[in-house]
Amino acid sequence: MINTYYIGGSPCSGKSTIAEILSAKYNLYYFKVDDFLEKYTKMGTVKGYKICKNQDSMNAEETWMREPSLQCREEFLFYEEIFEFIWEDLRQITGKGIITEGAAYLPKLMKGLNISKDRYISITPSEDFQISHYKKREWVPFVLEGCKDKEKAFSNWMNRDILFAQEVQRQCNEEKYVSIINDGCIELDELVNKVVVHLGLGE
């Protein structure tokens, strides 16, 4: 596979923005995992993967009214189920190189593939940064459409992602991968530069 740089972490941390900037600056193919999640879920359902089947069949009420800890555990299992599909798509890309980002790039999965420490970085948001930025996103009400108690559903969603970020940070520490916590105090240019330096893109 051609030179590939991975940005993992958790939602609402700035991964997409940074990947877009690096793609344009260094002429890298940008592969955004989130753009293919629906496709991967369908593929997993066809293969009979349990979590994919669950996610493919649940409505918004069933999805967001579950306990956040359960949602978080299933999110990790979901990414494990679909990882083979992501990897196969990456293998089909040709060109100078790839910058790819997504919460699916779990540190343990990266370690299992022997992805070197200078090709992977994790970015997770602080709790306050995550919640404040989610509240600004216009599509959030559409995700929660169908939930009877939208405030509770949103709270469950946020708590799921907080737990997810904590576990990603723990895995990074365990696997000795670099992890950045974005609390909103770091300017975007500085955050981008941290990623550039770690991945060696400016060399």
**pLDDT tens track for 24-80:** 999 999 999 999 999 999 999 999 999 999 998 999 999 999 999 999 999 999 999
Share of the chain above pLDDT 70, in %: 99
Q: Which domains occur in the chain, in start order?
A: 4-191 (3.40.50.300)
Strands (E), the chain: 4-9, 29-32, 98-101, 120-125, 178-182
**CA atoms of 84 and 137, how far apart (whole Å):** 30
Lowest mean pLDDT among 44-48, 133-137, 190-194: 133-137
Judged on CB neighbours under 10 Å (0-12, 13-18, 19+), 190 is exposed
Ramachandran angles phi, psi of 179, nearest 5°: -130, 130
Check pLDDT > 70 for residue 203: no
pLDDT at 181: 96
Per-residue burial over 89-116, b if 16 or more Cβ lie within 10 Å, else e, is ebeeeeeebbbbbbbbbbbebbbeeebe
**CA atoms of 176 and 172, how far apart (whole Å):** 6
Query: Residue 11's Cα: distance from chain center in Å?
Result: 6
Closest CA to 102 of 174, 4, 176, 175: 4
- Spatial contact of 109 and 39, defined as CB atoms under 8 Å apart: no
